[in-house]
Structure 1
Amino acid sequence: MATTDTDLIIAGGGLAGATLALALSRAVPDLRVTVVESFPLSPDAVPDDYQPSYDSRSTALAWGSRLIFEELGLWQRLSEHATPIQHIHVSDRGRFGATRLDAESHGQPALGYVADNRWMGLCLMRELLDTGVQWQAPGEVVDMTPIAGGVDVAIKQNSEVRSLTAQCLVVADGGRSGLRETLGFQTRQQAYGQNALIANVSTSDSHRFTAYERFTDAGPMALLPHGSASLAGSQSALVWTLTDQDLEQVLSLSDPEKCRRLQDRFGWRLGRFTHIGQCNHYPLTLTTVDEPVRAGVALVGNAAHALHPVAGQGFNLALRGLMTLVEQFRVAHASGQSIGDLSVLRRYQELHRQDWQQTVQFSDSLIRVFGDSSVPVLAARDAGLVGLDLLPGAKRWFARKAMGTGGRRAVIHSPGSASREQMEHE
């Protein structure tokens, strides 16, 4: 193999990029990894004195994601501020159909968890401080040129651009990846004609560790238990889909008026909405990249596929993909093959493709079926929700999707593992 400055460059040190770096430090500790992140890093940014903010953004973690974080040695710390989802209630507003899932009936303490993004980032950083992963921060990958045996990556720091060579570049800079466009990857985008409004809310009744998926004639909404790992409080994380016109109207309202509008759309299952925090919003688009790998380059996370957030599948899908990529890098490195070799990256793509196709289809079909208000579809939806609630086989299938255990999950091997590659089908 050609000599390079580093083995792997990860463009983006957010949740996806940092998780990939940590997983590689566990599975292939002698692999040289460099993370390029636009935000400066502080060695004091550790979770020891973490104080949750009411307005903190959060991520839904499936049970399968907990298993991955356990393998990485991260879960014990992360779980200190991860609110468990013990029940899931799916309903169609104004209709009789509903489906309920309970962790206890599946022999688990939780179906999933809700964790603040900042807390997850701090936990990852705390672990990464004890690894050999190198950071270029603040910095930005602005271009890449293929070279013999790898890639030549242009990194901009303090208005200066310098070159760093590597076997492979992984693009993990999010759904609005400018680097993806610069490198010429072709995306397919399907606009839903809706926006996601994200906020934390308080209610008069406790959430009782229940996640609500509520489909309405104006679009789906989700309320996820939030705020405490042990006490069933009254704070929930809201994902509310709105048309452009409705979003403009909601944003113009006072906080009490927003609560009343939300009450009208969601109903009274959590009692009265008493407070809504800072509102963030963004347009909803299904974005996929059919060919997310090339020789020396791979797209991961939202840079490769961005889903509708109401089903809570996006980060969990990305996490499974990252572990699949780590395993392919481990196998290639152990055999003396360049990790940027096209055969290595195509093997990763083939293993991950079925998972992302099924997850995209599952999420997209939920939105489209529950967005159709024709009488035949309404009747079919009622029957479908009731069927899911009553038929054990259908309910197990739905639970596996919700828990993120319906696909293939790469097993992270420590150095010296006898097995070259194993895939666990859960």
Structure 2
Amino acid sequence: MAESGEAVDHHCQVLIVGGGMAGASLALALSRHAPDMSVAVVESAPITPDVSPHEHYQPSYDARATALAYGSRLIYEDLGLWPAIAEGATGIHRIHVSERGRFGSARMDAAEHGQDALGYVVDNAWLGLNLVSALGNADIQWLCPARVQSAQSSQQGAEVRIERDGATESWHCDLLVVADGGRSGLREALGFSVQRRDYDQHAMVATVTTSRPHEGVAYERFTDDGPVALLPHRKSHDYALVWTMPATEVERRMALDDRAFLKELQGLFGWRRGRFERVGRRHSYALGLEQAPEPARPGVVLVGNAAHALHPVAGQGFNLALRGLMRLSACLAQAHRDGQSLSDLHTLRPYLDEHQQDVDAIVGFSDGIIRVFSGSSGFPGHIRDLGLLALDAAPGARHWLARQNMGLNRRRSSLGHE
């Protein structure tokens, strides 16, 4: 290592900024798709690839979780990681969709599709630790803890200055992948524009405990305030709650004591799972549809939340990102085999075109749900009621919706599988 402050020159073909779930998934896929490609990952958190998930994972009642679609399970199976992830995954066997004050409802059951689950709920920490641990067996340069000081891209690749161990290193890469979310500032520093539609809503997330066991049933209940989603989470009586509400309500509900909060939740959700008995630490964040109109330019590409952030109503955000990461990995591996420049925007065009179709479909799907079930949608309640009843009675429509939730209506690319 050079003396503090001295620049050190390094080169790799792909430099991934962000070693979270998105960045680590891409790095792992590249290690499988193109094991001779030089890849480096920059991560600010002090995590090393030799981590043991079982030793470092501390299950917490307040753990943040992600809903993985069945299609995402197939991707992680292709990457050889699913058996490890499955140890901490809770299966969603059935989904129940309803609207408060209406008798219509729709149900989806994994058994109808010959699967053991429609999806899975996994603690973010467990998923992340297993991804990072898997990278310990891959030929990936792990720069951690480190942060990007500056970056610029061109037809020849990207020049990135990284601060690590008190020294500033100068890196050149053929392709810079921005995978550290939409709030890091690197996206804006590189000059990418972002389009945002504010929903004037917040999502409140927490763990709640019910008097009746969840039995693998997930709920999406639409209310005048917004959808209330309950996802089965680890212990038999615990749920991951995602409660969407107007911006004017979030501050008040965050300030409620636990008893008052659970009473309001009970009134909106009902008694299908008995009494709400406990709630953990609550978190909230503003909701909006955010997209980078041009997520790539010569030498750099945005992925995951840096490229698109969706409303959580359909639970498709990370699943959409993961499919895109696998397409990008396959595209880069093919270009590497063919001797094409990874910096050339033309090289990325097949990935960009295919993934944008997926993005448009999921955005249209989730945005449509919000508009139809919004209290100000203009759709009469009885029409929505009939729609849920018709959906429940129509096997074809129900099958399509289930496959949409399972992430199977779009092609996936992982290790050559489609």
C-alpha separation between the residues in 2 aligned to 1:160 and 1:215?
52
Q: Does the CA contact (< 8 Å) of 1:369 and 1:377 recur in 2? A: no
Q: How far apart are 1:17 and its partner, in Å?
A: 0.1
Deviation at 1:16, TM superposition (A): 0.1
Q: State which of 43, 49, 55 in structure 2 corresponds to 1:37.
A: 43
**In structure 1, the residue corresponding to 2:323 is in which secondary structure?**
helix
| Deviation (angstroms), 1:380 | 2.1
Q: Which residue of 2 aligns with 1:113?
A: 120
Q: Is the 8 A contact 1:372 1:378 kept in 2?
A: no
Q: Which residue of 2 aligns with 1:12?
A: 18
**Inter-partner Cα distance in structure 2 for 1:316 and 1:274:** 31
- For these two proteins, the number of residue pairs brought into alignment is 409
Provide Cα deviations, 1:28-67, integer angstroms capped at 9, x if missing partner.
1111111011111246632123342111100000000000
Segments ≥4 residues shifted beyond 6 Å = none
Tell whether the 8 Å contact from 2:48 to 2:132 is kept in structure 1 after alignment. no
What's 2:306 paired with? 303
Report the TM-score, using the length of structure 2 for normalisation: 0.94
The residue aligned with 2:241 is 238
Q: Which residue of 1 aligns with 2:195?
A: 188
- The CA deviation at 1:285 is 1.0
Is the 8 Å Cα contact of residues 153 and 300 (structure 2) preserved in structure 1? no
TM-score normalized by the length of structure 1: 0.93
Amino acid at match of 1:281: S
Alpha-carbon distance in structure 2 between the residues aligned to 1:86 and 1:148: 48
Q: Would the alpha carbon gap of residues 374 and 336 (structure 1) be closer, same or farther in structure 2, given more than 3 Å must change?
A: closer
Q: Distance in 2 between matches of 1:244 and 1:368?
A: 17
Tell me, which stretches of 5 or more residues in structure 2 are unaligned? 1-8
Match of 1:22 in 2: 28
- Counterpart of 2:331 (choices 321, 328, 331) is 328
Pairing partner for 2:250 from 244, 247, 250: 247
Distance change (3 Å), C-alpha of 1:391 and 1:152: same
Task: Indicate the residue corresponding to 1:123 in structure 2.
Answer: 130
Per-residue displacement from partner, 1:239-264 (whole Å, max 9, x unpaired)?
01122331111111111111111111
Gaps of 5+ in 1: 414-422
* % same residue: 53
Question: Is the CA contact 2:17–2:42 (under 8 Å) kept in the aligned structure 1?
Answer: yes
Query: Is the contact between residue 50 and residue 133 of structure 2 (CA under 8 Å) also seen in structure 1?
Result: no
Aligned to 1:268: 271
Q: Distance in 1 between matches of 2:138 and 2:386?
A: 53
Task: Please report how far the alpha carbon of residue 159 of structure 1 lies from its aligned counterpart in structure 2 after TM superposition.
Answer: 6.2
Higher mean displacement: 100-109 or 341-350? 341-350
Cα separation, 2, equivalents of 1:142 and 1:383: 55
Cα distance in structure 1, aligned partners of 2:70 and 2:50 = 30
The worse-fitting range, judged by mean Cα deviation, of 175-184 and 66-75 is 175-184
The farther-off stretch of 14-23 and 244-253 is 244-253
Quote the residue 2:161 is aligned against.
154
Q: Distance in 2 between matches of 1:43 and 1:369?
A: 45
CA drift at 1:373: 4.8
Asked if the contact 1:205/1:270 (under 8 Å) is kept, the reply is yes
Preserved CA contact (<8 Å) 1:62 1:403: yes
Alpha-carbon distance between aligned partners in 2 of 1:312 and 1:173, rounded to the nearest angstrom? 20
In 1, distance between residues paired with 2:65 and 2:344?
A: 36
After superposition, residues 160-179 of structure 1 pair within 5 angstroms as: 160-179=167-186
Change (3 A) 1:278 1:30: same
2:94 matched residue in structure 1? 87
- Secondary structure of 1:52's counterpart equals coil
Aligned residue number for residue 383 of structure 1: 386
For 1:376 and 1:193, locate their aligned partners in 2 and report how far apart those are by CA, in whole Å: 19
Distance 1:385 1:148 in 2: 51
- For 2:181 and 2:30, the matched residues in 1 are separated by 20
Displacement after TM superposition at 1:374 (Å):
6.2
Q: 1:376 to 1:169 in 2, by over 3 A?
A: closer
Q: Please say if residues 142 and 179 of structure 1, whose CA atoms lie closer than 8 Å, have aligned partners that are also in contact.
A: no
The equivalent of 1:417 in structure 2 is none
Instruction: Say which SS state the counterpart of residue 412 (structure 2) adopts.
Output: strand
SS at match of 2:36: coil
Matched, 1:225 2:228: no
Which residue does the alignment assign to 1:211? 218
1:390, distance to aligned residue in structure 2 (A) = 0.7
- Would you say 1:343 and 2:346 are equivalent positions? yes
Aligned-partner residue type, residue 86 of structure 1: H
TM-superposition CA deviations, 1:340-379 (whole Å, max 9, x none): 2211112210011110100011111111111035674322
Alpha-carbon deviation of 1:290? 1.5
Matching residue within 315, 318, 334 for 1:315: 318
Task: Determine the C-alpha separation between the residues in 2 that align with 1:93 and 1:222.
Answer: 13
SS of 1:343's equivalent? helix
Shift in Å at residue 148 of structure 1?
Answer: 5.6
Partners in 2 of 1:21 and 1:43 — Cα distance?
A: 12
Equivalent in the alignment of 1:398: 401
Letter in 1 for 2:44: S
Kindly report which structure 2 residues correspond to 1:47-66, keeping only aligned pairs within 5 A, or say none. Answer: 47-49=53-55, 50-66=57-73
Counterparts in 2 of 1:8 and 1:43: CA distance versus 1, 3 Å: closer
Q: What is the match of residue 292 of structure 1?
A: 295
Distance of aligned partners of 1:375 and 1:12 in 2 relative to their CA distance in 1, 3 Å threshold: closer
SS in 1 for 2:274: coil
Match of 2:4 in 1: none
Deviates more, 1:297-306 or 1:154-163: 154-163
Does the aligned pair in 2 maintain the 1:46–1:125 contact within 8 Å? no
